[in-house]
Amino acid sequence: MKEYVADSVFLAQANNEKGDDATKAAIKERFSAINGAMLVMFTEDTMVYPKESEWFQGLNKAMQVQALDKSDFYKDDYIGLKTLNEAGKVDFVSIDGDHLQFSQANITDTFIPFLLQ
């Protein structure tokens, strides 16, 4: 974990695992205050491993996908995802296909209604 945080160019900051306490608190507060979040996982993703990380899930020490609510990231509410989810403001969406291979129907039937709510 120490190496990951130290060497991460982007992901550790995006996951609010890097930075001083004041910065982390501000990021968590801002994220918790958004109107909603749509987390999209592509069922046959070959770009992101594990694909479940598109829903903020990760691998445990046994290299098995760990349920989001079992992770420290979620339980400790690093970015405010738990707060947002408990407020009913997170949509977990699964789209058939490979990385970012969504259709016009996905845009029309999934993305646009989410953005309009």
| pLDDT, mean of residues 44-49 | 96
pLDDT at 1 over 80: no
CB of 41 within 8 A of CB of 95? Answer: yes
> What tens digit of pLDDT does each residue of 83-110 get?
999 999 999 999 999 999 999 999 999 9
> What tens digit of pLDDT does each residue of 48-74 get?
999 999 999 999 999 999 999 999 999
Task: Give φ, ψ of 103 to 5 degrees.
Answer: -105, 170
CB of 92 within 8 A of CB of 79? Answer: no
